[in-house]
Amino acid sequence: MLTLAAVFSAIIAAGYVVHSAPVLLADVLVDGAISAGLYRRLRRAQGHTWWEGAVRRTIIPAAVVLVTFVAAGFAIHGAWPEAVTLGDAWHAIRGH
């Protein structure tokens, strides 16, 4: 019985992932691009500790990303307040 419940849960979870794949993959793409850009800067760090090097090498790019995303969020919300996700905003922009 427990095995059947586990299999059923796995099928439900897989169905949910397939259903939400476009949103999930878009989020993974953005996170991956940001992480890759910040990691390249971190790899060259020559700090006394890993924390110091990480903060020193990534604070400016991270602040730029933060300010850009906050500004984009406010702009999108101002233009399309009914949009809940970036996909909703994209559809509103494209007129679908």
What would the pLDDT profile of 27-62 be if each residue is shown by its tens digit? 888 888 888 877 776 666 555 677 777 788 788 889
Question: If pLDDT is split at 50, 70 and 90, which confidence band does 81 have?
Answer: very high
How many domains would you assign to the chain?
1
| Residue 59 forms part of a structural domain | yes
| Residue 8 forms part of a structural domain | no
- Which pLDDT score is estimated for 56? 80
| Residue 15 forms part of a structural domain | no
Question: If pLDDT is split at 50, 70 and 90, which confidence band does 64 have?
Answer: very high
| Residue 72 forms part of a structural domain | yes
Tell whether pTM > 0.75.
Answer: no
User: What is the spatial distance between Cα 88 and Cα 92, in angstroms, rounded to a whole number?
Assistant: 6
Question: If pLDDT is split at 50, 70 and 90, which confidence band does 69 have?
Answer: very high
| Residue 5 forms part of a structural domain | no
| Residue 83 forms part of a structural domain | yes
- Which pLDDT score is estimated for 75? 92
| Residue 66 forms part of a structural domain | yes
3-state helix, strand, coil split of the chain in percent (to 5) is 85, 0, 15
Enclosing domain of residue 81: 21-94
Backbone φ, ψ for residue 75 (5° rounding)? -65, -45
User: What is the spatial distance between Cα 88 and Cα 96, in angstroms, rounded to a whole number?
Assistant: 9
| Residue 71 forms part of a structural domain | yes
Compare 56 and 77 and report the one with higher pLDDT. Answer: 77
